[in-house]
Amino acid sequence: MRPQNGACLSTRTHWGRTRVTADDLQRSLGGPTRLRGVTLPCVDYAATRRFYTEGLGIRLTGQTRGHAVLDLGGTRLVLLDGGRVAGFQRKEGQGLYLELEVGDLDAVRSHLRSVGARVFELRTTPSGRLMTVQDPEGNLVNLVEPGSRMR
């Protein structure tokens, strides 16, 4: 396999087959090393922006008309007005399922209920406590307060 720049990738033999590893490809192409961000096209951009900034308290780092950039601790969540995306449609059940870490799940739960967000019941797992909420787009957001084994 040759990348576009003409460099040759090293290969490994696995079960009698020669294959290119993800590490080899990443080194050769200078490929992704971390998730920079996720873009969420929105049917109701204004309500979704309020949910993430005012409901969840995620810091807004920049915005233009129909485009908001939120900071998730080094990863960006970009909210995009779906009306500005040619051919954008959302069907029931499609969308993101985010998982966000929080420090005080009880405080977040109380605040989200006070602003009218759809909040599902708290659950406790061996790795910590978690709660699912639904944003105005119908996306599910899992809020996790890690237990001592996860920190």
Render pLDDT for 11-42 as a digit per residue (tens, 0 to 9).
Answer: 555 566 666 677 776 666 666 556 788 889 88
Least confident window among 4-13, 43-52, 115-124: 4-13
99-125-113 Cα angle (round to 5): 55
Domains and CATH numbers, the chain: 37-146 (3.10.180.10)
The mean pLDDT of 105-117, rounded to a whole number, is 93
- The answer, yes or no, to whether residue 9 has pLDDT greater than 80, is no
Q: What pairs with residue 109 in β-bridges?
A: none
Q: What is the DSSP string of 32-72?
A: --S--EEEEEESSHHHHHHIIIIIS-PEEEEEETTEEEEES
Inter-CA distances, 137 with 15, 126, 149, Å = 45, 30, 33
Q: Please tell me which residue, 84 or 140, carries the higher pLDDT value.
A: 140
Q: What is the pLDDT of residue 138?
A: 87
